[in-house]
């Protein structure tokens, strides 16, 4: 209980610690960040980042992030060429996709929740939708690569 009280007080007082930041280069050429203004050195006052949002609320994204189409990591992954699969790997993926598609021909279709381990029965509408997805995946996995 005492830990909870201390934590609550620390969180309540934490916005008070967000103060002005200063950046300057010292005589050795090192960049220094501090909360105290340097006395005899030309410094640049930095705007401190805003405190994190309270739990349970989501802060709106800054406007500059909305304009960026992708994060740098995502852009690099998108540019990376896909590894070409060997004939054996392509055949293995095709066979697995065929087996997944064949599951939907035996009704009723039972699925297992991977989180809880609970087994549920799909109704006909759900089974037909999943069967269509499995068919598309099978067609993609079993198509012949361009020569």
9 membership: H or E segment, kind and range = helix 2-13
In the chain, domain spans: 17-46, 87-142
DSSP state, residue 90: H
Per-residue pLDDT of the chain (147 residues; tens, 9 = 90+): 677 777 677 666 655 555 667 777 878 888 877 777 777 777 666 666 666 676 655 555 555 555 555 566 666 666 666 678 788 888 999 999 999 899 888 888 888 888 888 999 989 999 999 999 999 999 999 988 776
Strands of the sheet containing 44-46, edge to edge, are: 31-34, 21-25, 44-46
Question: Can you say whether residue 76 is alpha, beta or left, with left for phi > 0 and alpha for psi between -120 and 50 degrees?
Answer: alpha
Say what the pLDDT of residue 96 is: 92
Say what the pLDDT of residue 108 is: 87
Give the separation between CA 142 and CA 18, rounded to whole angstroms: 58
Say what the pLDDT of residue 76 is: 63
List 23's β-bridge partners, or say none. 33, 44
List 31's β-bridge partners, or say none. 25
Say what the pLDDT of residue 97 is: 92
Say what the pLDDT of residue 113 is: 85
25 membership: H or E segment, kind and range = strand 21-25
DSSP state, residue 108: S
Say what the pLDDT of residue 147 is: 63
CA-to-CA separations, 54 to 7, 38, 73, in angstroms, rounded: 14, 33, 28
| CA 47 to mean position of chain CA atoms | 28
List 25's β-bridge partners, or say none. 31
């Amino acid at each position: 209980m005492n830990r909870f009280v201390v934590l609550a007080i620390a969180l309540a007082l934490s916005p008070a610690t967000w103060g002005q930041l200063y950046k300057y280069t010292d005589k050795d050429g090192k960049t220094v960040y501090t909360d105290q203004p340097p006395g005899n050195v030309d410094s640049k006052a930095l705007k401190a980042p805003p405190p994190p949002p309270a739990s349970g609320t989501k802060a709106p994204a800054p406007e500059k992030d909305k304009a960026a189409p992708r994060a740098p990591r995502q852009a690099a992954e998108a540019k990376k060429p896909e590894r070409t699969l060997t004939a054996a790997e392509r055949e293995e993926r095709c066979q697995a996709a065929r087996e997944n598609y064949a599951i939907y021909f035996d009704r009723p279709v039972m699925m297992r929740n991977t989180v809880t381990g609970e087994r549920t029965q799909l109704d006909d509408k759900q089974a037909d939708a999943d069967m269509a997805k499995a068919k598309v995946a099978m067609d993609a996995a079993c198509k012949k690569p361009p020569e």
